[in-house]
Amino acid sequence: MSDNLALYIHIPFCRGKCPYCDFFSLRGDTQDYNSYIVSLKEAIIYWSEKIDKKVDTIYIGGGTPSVLKAEQVADIINTIKSHFKVTENAEITMEANPKSALNFDFSIVKEAGLNRMSLGIQSANKNELKILGRAHNNDDIKATVKNIKSSGINNISLDLMLGIPEQTIESLKNSIDFCCGLDVEHISVYILKIEENTYFYNNRDKYNFPDEEATADLYLFAVDYLEQKGFNQYEISNFSKTGYESKHNLKYWNLEDYLGIGPAAHSFLNGKRFYYNRSIEDFSNNKIIDDGTGGNESEYIMLQLRLTKGLNLDKYKEAFGEYPDKDFFDKVKKYCNLGFMSYDNNTIKFTKNGFLLSNSILSELI
């Protein structure tokens, strides 16, 4: 485990609400953006005076950070650098929407230190994009990727979605081929989850969502096809070319310290969990909610098993002083016999099929 800190910055603004989205986001105007950035910079300074750790990853997410001007994002990064000890080779990522990023000046954020971009494209198929309520098209994606590369940022991640209504193996193959044709370094493939209080949830009977078996087939195809295309799976939903794994996200899965700044942002610091409410007003007033302790054995097992490298039992013992109990190993053995897990070289892993059932298996294991 590292003594460094991962820093997450939440930008809670979007041009509109996608039908599947449950993240805290809302519409805003120039005045909203400006006043929020003032609060954000105040919070950055507040936390910098309380935490004496080096920051080695920064992730600016949302919402849609690219609704801001490049100068505003650069200002946020420079404020962090002015008050936190940011390592020289820190990974600094920003999320963007291909449509709102069309007129974004990436050279400005590159100069501030941004070196990784994550684009939410979800699909390369026109009908699927329409169902998902996405405003962009493939030409927008191509233009945005070109702009990013022209600025000198050469670490680009694209997000795809599985389980979209009307999605097929062929349409998924088309989306993956499109991503690979853009010569990017990282692809995330998330299974669509129908969250309460979203448009999809309230209108789920109107859509032809793939059933569990069809979604499983889509996932297994994506895993195998991305591997053929040179993308190594390192986590349930994440694939990268060698050396381009998301350092920031690995912090979460390795149970390292992270600080979330912004409404709805969560933190894990020195064994304590806390978060901000889903409210810009509460955030501006620095209302922080205590969420108890974290980092116990069960949490460590759950997070490590999200990774394809799995749970190393020697590292577990090093962290907690002893190995898991016999009951745990008996359950692992059962799932190994069923083909959902493997146990080799003192390391326990999910198989590809096991990842699909990981939530239910983990609930039994821990």
Query: Is residue 288 very low, low, confident or very high in pLDDT (cuts 50, 70, 90)?
Result: very high
Q: Could you tell me the strand order of the sheet in which 341-344 lies?
A: 311-312, 347-350, 341-344
The answer to whether residue 287 is domain-embedded is no
State the average pLDDT for the chain.
94
Same domain, residue pair 239 and 125 = yes
Residues 216, 302: one domain? no
Kindly state whether residues 191 and 314 are assigned to the same domain: no
Note whether 226 and 307 are same-domain residues: no
Confidence of residue 17 (pLDDT cuts 50, 70, 90): low
Counting residues of the chain whose pLDDT is more than 70, the rounded percentage is 97
Mark whether 119 and 247 lie in a shared domain.
yes
pTM of the model: 0.95
Residue 115: predicted pLDDT = 98
State whether 147 and 35 are in the same domain: yes
Domain boundary among 201, 225, 253: 253
Residue range of the domain that includes 353: 296-366
pLDDT value at residue 210 = 85
- % pLDDT > 90, the chain: 86
Number of H helices, E strands in the chain: 15, 15
Encode pLDDT of 172-212 as tens digits.
Answer: 999 999 999 999 999 999 998 877 777 777 787 778 788 89
- Assess whether 307 and 247 both reside in one domain: no
Give the dihedral of Cα atoms 50, 42, 72, 150; nearest 10 deg: 0
- For residue 1 the two structure tokens come to 């485990």
- Number of separate domains in the chain: 2
User: Residue 25's pLDDT is what?
Assistant: 72
Q: Is the pLDDT of residue 238 over 80?
A: yes
Radius of gyration in angstroms for the set of CA atoms belonging to the chain, rounded to a whole number: 21
CATH number at residue 136: 3.20.20.70
- Does residue 316 share a domain with residue 218? no
Are residues 215 and 308 part of one domain? Answer: no
Q: Do 50 and 199 share a structural domain?
A: yes
Both 215 and 315 in one domain: the answer is: no
Q: Which two tokens stand for residue 257?
A: 């310290």
Residue finishing a domain among 253, 270, 288:
253
Domain boundary residue among 195, 220, 253?
A: 253
Other CB atoms within 10 A of residue 162 CB:
23
In a domain, 286, yes or no: no
pLDDT surpassing 60 at residue 142: yes
